[in-house]
């Protein structure tokens, strides 16, 4: 199937890994591209030198909106006749302990990372089955393999996506449709700076007396250091996505960074109690997590208690 021209729809293609993938597809393949982003983000394509052409159409798409999902697939079919490949790249990450998550935060996280990709997949599958070929590429994460503190609902969304994708892998294989999960770990990019905080996690991050403050105080810079030290880049991951898409029989799970391979190996072969103990002991500053709140210090002299006086004239005489 390699180098057979495909019509590929990519979500979240105006920045980060999505943009790197769009540029690599344009430069190294003959594929026709339907590149999508939220309406407000469309100008970023021109800034990056990506413009509409015979091979490229740019389409506004907020993956959380059913009307826009249907419109994007319809636009692709009008322009190129069909959709052969879908790359569900658009995503968002919330940094928050579970106690600081509201229902709105949780639903937003799930809508972008799970509901949207699954809904888009359902829209393109009938055409793929009719042509008996297609590629579904879902962007997962190490967070879909293991959970990290302060990233509870992010991991929940990726775990859900992994489960649905694994079932889909078996369901559509009889029609020659390849389904793959791309699993990046830490990537040398600025994407971690776009991580969202909930109202509760934002408040706790700035309050040294708050119960979960140490969780954020240590985890946030820890993740930033790992991102900066990582050797993988959006372009190196984009290259592996293209390679996966063009394989005759693409695998279900594709770890694309060294740490993703390592965590996958450890999770598979290490006894589970030892695995959890090791990861817990490796958390940054774990000795300070859960410490009692510090009492506010003060140098003021406490006010003297008023003296108690007794009027002896009212006491009974012996």
**Neighbour tally for 2: CB within 10 Å:** 10
141 vs 300: CA distance, rounded Å: 53
132 vs 114: CA distance, rounded Å: 25
71 vs 66: CA distance, rounded Å: 9
Run of H or E residues at 235: helix 234-245
Nearest one of 54, 15, 47, 48 to 33, comparing CA atoms: 54
- Say which of 154, 212, 216, 218 is annotated catalytic: 154
Hey, is 14 helix, strand or coil?
A: coil
Active-site residue flag, 275: no
Cα 57 versus chain centre, distance = 26
Residue with tokens 């140098």: 299
Catalytic residue list = 154
């Amino acid at each position: 199937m390699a180098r057979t021209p495909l019509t590929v729809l990519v979500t979240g293609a105006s920045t980060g890994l999505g943009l790197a993938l769009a540029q690599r597809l344009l430069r190294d393949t003959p594929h026709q591209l339907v590149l999508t982003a939220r309406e407000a983000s469309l100008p970023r394509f021109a800034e990056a030198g990506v413009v509409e052409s015979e091979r490229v159409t740019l389409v506004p798409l907020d993956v959380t909106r059913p009307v826009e999902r249907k419109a994007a697939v319809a636009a692709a079919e009008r322009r190129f006749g069909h959709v052969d490949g879908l790359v569900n790249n658009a995503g968002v990450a919330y940094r928050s302990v579970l106690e600081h998550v509201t229902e709105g935060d949780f639903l937003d996280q799930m809508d972008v990372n799970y509901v949207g990709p699954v809904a888009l997949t359902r829209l393109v599958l009938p055409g793929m089955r009719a042509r008996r070929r297609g590629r579904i590429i879902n962007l997962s994460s190490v967070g879909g393999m293991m959970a990290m503190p302060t990233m509870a609902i992010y991991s929940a969304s990726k775990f859900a996506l992994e489960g649905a994708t694994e079932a889909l892998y078996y369901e559509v294989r009889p029609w020659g449709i390849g389904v793959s999960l791309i699993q990046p770990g830490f990537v040398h990019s600025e994407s971690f700076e776009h991580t969202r905080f909930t109202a509760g996690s934002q408040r706790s991050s700035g309050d040294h007396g708050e119960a979960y403050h140490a969780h954020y105080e240590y985890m946030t810079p820890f993740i930033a250091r790992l991102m900066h030290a990582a050797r993988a880049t959006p372009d190196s991951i984009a290259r592996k996505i293209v390679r996966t898409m063009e394989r005759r029989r693409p695998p279900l799970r594709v770890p694309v960074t060294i740490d993703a391979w390592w965590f996958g190996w450890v999770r598979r072969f290490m006894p589970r109690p030892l695995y959890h103990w090791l990861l817990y002991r490796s958390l940054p500053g774990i000795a300070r997590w859960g410490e009692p709140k510090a009492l506010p210090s003060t140098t003021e002299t406490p006010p003297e208690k008023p003296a108690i006086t007794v009027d002896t004239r009212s006491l009974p005489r012996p």
